[in-house]
Amino acid sequence: MQRHNLFALFLLATTVLSAQTTKSTIAKRSYTTHVVSEQEAPEVDGLLDDAAWNETEWAGDFVEWRPDENTPPTFSTRFKIVYDAKNLYIGIQAFDKAPDSIEKRLSRRDGFQGDIVEVNIDSYLDKRTGFSFSVSAAGVKGDEFISENGNNWDASWNPIWYTKTNLDGEGWTAELKIPFSQLRFGKSQEQVWGLQVQRILFRKDERSVWQRVPRDAPGWVSEFGELRGLIDIEPQRQLEIQPFTVVKLDTYPKEEGNPFRDGSDTKLNGGVDAKIGITNNLTLDLTINPDFGQVEADPGAIALDGFQIFFQEQRPFFVENKNIFDYRFANNQDNVFYSRRIGRSPQGSATVTNGDFVNQPQNSTILGAAKFSGKTKNGWSLGVLESVTGRMFAQINNNGQEREELVEPLTNYLVARAQKDFNERNSYVGGIFTATNRDLEPSLDFLRQAAYSGGVDFKHSWKDRKYFIEGNIVASHVIGSEESIRATQESITHLFQRVDAGHVEVDGDRTSLTGTGGKLEGGKAGGGHWLYNTGMSWKSPELELNDIGFLRQADEIRQYSSVSWRTIKPLENFRNIYIGVGQLTTYDFDGNFNRTQYDLNSEFIFRNNWWAEFGAAHKPRIFINTFLRGGPRWRFSEENFAYLFFGSDRRKKLSFVMGHVNSQAKQDNFSLVRFVGRLNYQPFNALSINLQTEYEKNPNKTQYVTETSFDGVPRYITANIRQDTWATTLRVNYTINPNLSIQYYGQPFISRGRYTDFNYVNNPIAKDLNERITLFDQNQISMDNGVYNVDEDSNGSVDYSIGDPDFSFVQFRSNLVLRWEYIPGSEIFLVWAQGVTGLGDPRDTLGRSLDRQILNEKLNNTFLLKATYRFAK
Spell out the residues 6+ positions from residue 665 whose beta carbon is closer than 8 angstroms to its own: 636, 637, 638, 639, 640, 671
Question: CA torsion angle for 702, 707, 713, 719 (degrees, to 10)?
Answer: -20
Residue ranges of alpha helices (H) inside 130-258 are: none
Which amino acid appears at position 185 of this protein? F
Distances (CA, A) of 873 to 156, 240, 273: 21, 6, 15
pLDDT for residue 14: 47
pLDDT for residue 16: 46
Distances (CA, A) of 270 to 289, 295, 391, 793: 7, 16, 19, 65
Q: Is residue 434 predicted with pLDDT exceeding 80? A: yes
**First CA to last CA distance, the chain:** 61
The domain over range 33-231 is classified in CATH as 2.60.40.1190: yes
**Interatomic CA distance for residues 737 and 165, integer angstroms:** 13
pLDDT for residue 22: 40
Distances (CA, A) of 859 to 295, 466, 838, 854: 19, 55, 11, 8
Spell out the residues 6+ positions from residue 590 whose beta carbon is closer than 8 angstroms to its own: 501, 502, 503, 504
Distances (CA, A) of 251 to 83, 262, 831, 853: 53, 9, 14, 18
Spell out the residues 6+ positions from residue 7 whose beta carbon is closer than 8 angstroms to its own: 534, 561
Break the chain into its structural domains and give their ranges.
1-27+319-555, 33-231, 247-305+665-776+803-873
Percent of the chain with pLDDT over 90: 76
Average of per-residue pLDDT across 748-757: 94
pLDDT tens, 96-139? 999 999 999 999 899 899 999 999 999 989 898 999 999 999 99
**Interatomic CA distance for residues 421 and 423, integer angstroms:** 7
pLDDT tens, 277-318? 887 778 898 999 888 877 777 777 777 788 888 888 878 788
Gyration radius from the chain CA atoms: 29
**Interatomic CA distance for residues 561 and 140, integer angstroms:** 42
The phi-psi region of residue 742 (left if phi > 0; otherwise alpha if psi is between -120 and 50; otherwise beta) is beta
pLDDT tens, 249-273? 999 999 888 999 899 999 998 999 8
**Interatomic CA distance for residues 641 and 617, integer angstroms:** 5
Task: Please count the other Cβ atoms lying within 10 Å of the Cβ belonging to residue 100.
Answer: 6
Q: Which residues of 352-376 are buried (b: 16+ CB within 10 A; e: fewer)?
A: eeeeebbbbeeebebbbbbbbbbbb
**Interatomic CA distance for residues 201 and 266, integer angstroms:** 49
Strands 30-32 and 225-231: parallel
pLDDT tens, 329-375? 987 789 999 999 999 999 999 888 888 999 999 899 999 999 998 88
- Backbone φ, ψ for residue 343 (5° rounding): 85, 20
